[in-house]
Amino acid sequence: MSNMCGIIGVAKFKGEIEVKEVIDMLKRLEYRGYDSWGVGFLNNNKLIVEKRVGKIGNVAYKQHTRAKAAIAHTRWATHGTVDEKNAHPHISFDGSLALVHNGIIENYTSIRDWLIEKGYKFYTDTDSEVSANLLHYLLNNYEDVTALRLFNKKVKGSFAIVALFRGKVYALVRGSPLLVGVNKEAIYFASDAKAFVDKVERVGYFNDEEGGIVDLNANTLIFLDLNKGIRTKKSLEPIKRELYDTYEPLNGYPHYTIKEIEEQPLKINEVFAYNEGMLEKLAEDVNNAYGVFFVASGSSYNAALASSYLFSKHAHKHVNVVDAAEFEYYKHFITSKTLVVAISQSGETADVIEAVKTAKKKGAKIVSMVNVYGSTLMRLSDYSILMHVGSEISVVATKSYIAQLLLLITLIFKTMALEFNGEVKKVANLMKEMVENKDFKESIRNLAKELKNKDHLYIIGRGVNYATALEGALKIKEISYIHAEAFAGGALKHGSIALIDNNTDVIVIASEDETFDEIISNALEVKARGARVIGISSKHHEVFDVYIAVPKVNILQPLINIVPLQLLAYYLALERGADPDKPRNLAKSVTVK
């Protein structure tokens, strides 16, 4: 199986759809997984399945096959090796049912054994094939609504499933995202609205334990409560296309990663303009809360951590920053007076969603910062703040990280009833000069050439720059596959300095603030043990063997300091022959716990 996958389903009431069009829709979801892809469709009432290993993005599907209904899938593997056999769609053992699945079936081995006793055969290593055969068995032995209810009852785990069987399209949801879009001629299902945003007139969202059935012969669509096994009504709202991300072309850039790095200055002004009013509301909630938790994962966590130092320094407020995967163990502190700010680019991060559900059970107020309108996290929140950075196609977070930082730093000023519009415009202009400066980028590229064969890189910083070091190390690990590790400067002497020898490169983030003298002292410590010191600072120091000059901007310094590290990660990936947009073993939307 493959949890962080992209799935699509299409059912045509009038006419047919080109299979090529379905594949083009699937390409918009490649960020969700790119190990393999496949499509299944009904052509002249015959079920046809095509599957391939590899990325779908550059596939030129030249056949002009038309279909009454189709399903498609792009995979990020969790169960089963990456090969054509384990790619989706999966079919029942008799070839009559095809299914695409996003999720993890936890009890698939016991279900498989039960089905084997009933004569079913299995040909893959995946839990999704078990789902296909279980659904096949139930639909063959029970009427549709009962069959879907029994599937929901029998299966443990998470799933968003779209299946084709005997002229019907079935959808089942629990714990994984799935949307439905409609127009006068067709029904669409997808993991993300960007797959069909330009095709539908109305859109709705499946909640946990909901499903749907499209009957192609009767031209009907019904919605179900899978837990109760009854029909329900679902509100489909007119689609507001301006609120949804659309798929953005490269526009001449070699990769989305560098495109999105260079878009950051423009997005800074847009993020601020869109959200100033909502941040005033959040600032009031922060000031009135008895306990504030920022909950996030990955880059979003690093942005939250950076802001926590600045909340302390400028607003004299303590905010708790918790990795979403660990939030369960902090739940004892949560009350109805607690404010939880959940941060996620996709709004589908499984750990963040589980943390929010835990906090909601304790009565906490939930506010989310998301980039994807209508996402699960947005719908779980009391209200949301949208990042407005547009589609972020590259797996690694760049412009969304900058947006989160800016929103959180702006929030600090709002809690103090202060304005800093001028600072935002200033940092946007300075960042623009950085990413458009060919000499600056060439110096980073040359550094990447020197570092490309390194097995280890270390980054140190103090205070807010420790959070920046964590984010820089994450970027380097994600797309260049070099082991990069971040340390708080003061923590080096408590063991980590044993790693330093005369073949070590240490990147030092040295802002002109209260941490400058102490981080320079740490740089001298590693240099005395043989390390080459690479300094990122607005102030040169003799300890730097390599100096990367950045402008000084005070409270917004973290937005500036991360840029050379983003660029370094990108150029390291190029020098090492890695795809910066689609790093191995990763997917953009992490919907698995």
**What mean pLDDT value characterizes the chain?**
92
Same domain, 540 and 408: no
Are 461 and 387 found together in one domain? no
Last residue of a domain, one of 435, 454, 483: 435
Q: List the CATH number of the domain containing 574.
A: 3.40.50.10490
> Residue for token digits 């009852």?
153
- Identify the helix (H) or strand (E) that includes residue 258: helix 256-288
Residue 586 lies in a domain: no
CB atoms within 10 A of CB 474: 22
Q: What is the CATH number of the domain that holds 144?
A: 3.60.20.10
The domain in which residue 286 lies consists of: 253-435
Q: Looking up tokens 């709002």, which residue turns up?
A: 414
Question: Mean per-residue pLDDT for 98-116?
Answer: 94
Report yes or no on 108 lying in a domain.
Answer: yes
pLDDT grade for 252, boundaries at 50, 70 and 90: very high
Say if residue 423 is in the same domain as residue 407.
Answer: yes
**Residue 244 falls inside a structural domain:** no
d(CA 396, CA 257): 7
Answer yes or no: do 390 and 454 share one domain.
no
Of 20-29, 129-138, 168-177, 453-462, which range is least confident? 20-29
At residue 197, the 3 state secondary structure works out as: coil
* Boundary-marking domain end, from 401, 435, 469: 435
95/108 same-domain check: yes
User: What whole-number distance in Å separates Cα of residue 416 and Cα of residue 401?
Assistant: 23
Indicate if the pLDDT at residue 398 is higher than 80: yes
C-alpha span between 247 and 6 (Å, rounded): 14
Q: Where are the alpha helices (DSSP H) in 28-79?
A: none
Residue 97 in contact with residue 88, Cβ under 8 Å? no
- 224 and 276 in a single domain? The answer is no
280 located within any domain: yes
Q: Which range (33-47, 345-359, 451-465) has the least confidence?
A: 33-47
Give the mean pLDDT of 310-339: 95
Q: Characterize 287-299 residue by residue with b for buried, 16 or more Cβ atoms within 10 angstroms of its Cβ, and e for exposed.
A: eebeebbbbbbbb
557 near 384, Cβ under 8 Å? no
Is residue 208 located within the same domain as residue 297? no
pLDDT per residue over 194-220, tens digit each?
Answer: 899 999 999 999 999 999 999 999 999
pLDDT band, very low/low/confident/very high, at 274 (cuts 50, 70, 90): confident
Average pLDDT over residues 178-207: 94
Same-domain check for residues 160 and 260: no
6 by Cβ neighbours in 10 Å (0-12 / 13-18 / 19+) ranks as: buried
The gap from C-alpha 109 to its chain's centroid, in whole angstroms, comes to: 29
Q: How confident is the model at residue 1 (pLDDT cuts 50, 70, 90)?
A: very low
Looking at the structure, do residues 334 and 354 belong to the same domain, yes or no? yes
Average pLDDT over every residue of 427-455: 96
Question: Per-residue pLDDT tens for 297-314?
Answer: 999 999 999 999 999 999
Q: In 331-463, which ranges are continuous DSSP H helix?
A: 350-361, 376-380, 399-415, 421-436, 438-451
315 and 402 fall within a common domain: yes
How many domains are there within the chain? Answer: 3
CB 184 within 8 A of CB 14: yes
Kindly state whether residue 405 falls inside one of the protein's structural domains.
yes
Whether 451 shows a pLDDT value over 50: the answer reads: yes
Q: What is the pLDDT of residues 477-536, one digit of tens each?
A: 999 999 999 999 988 888 888 888 888 999 999 999 999 999 999 999 999 999 999 999
User: Is 588 among the residues known to form the active site?
Assistant: yes
Residue 466 lies inside a defined structural domain of this protein? yes
pLDDT at 56: 76
100 conformational bin, left if phi > 0, alpha if psi -120 to 50, beta if neither: beta
Residues 463 and 430 in one domain: no
Structural domain includes residue 591? no
**Is position 585 within any domain?**
no
3 state DSSP class of 86: coil
Rounded (5°) CA angle 366-371-376: 50
Q: What would the pLDDT profile of 529-578 be if each residue is shown by its tens digit?
A: 999 999 999 999 999 999 999 999 989 999 999 999 999 999 999 999 99
The DSSP annotation for 390-407 comes to ----SSS-SHHHHHHHHH
- Mean local confidence (pLDDT), 105-121: 95
| Co-location of 192 and 288 in the same domain | no
List the catalytic residue out of 12, 68, 475, 588: 588
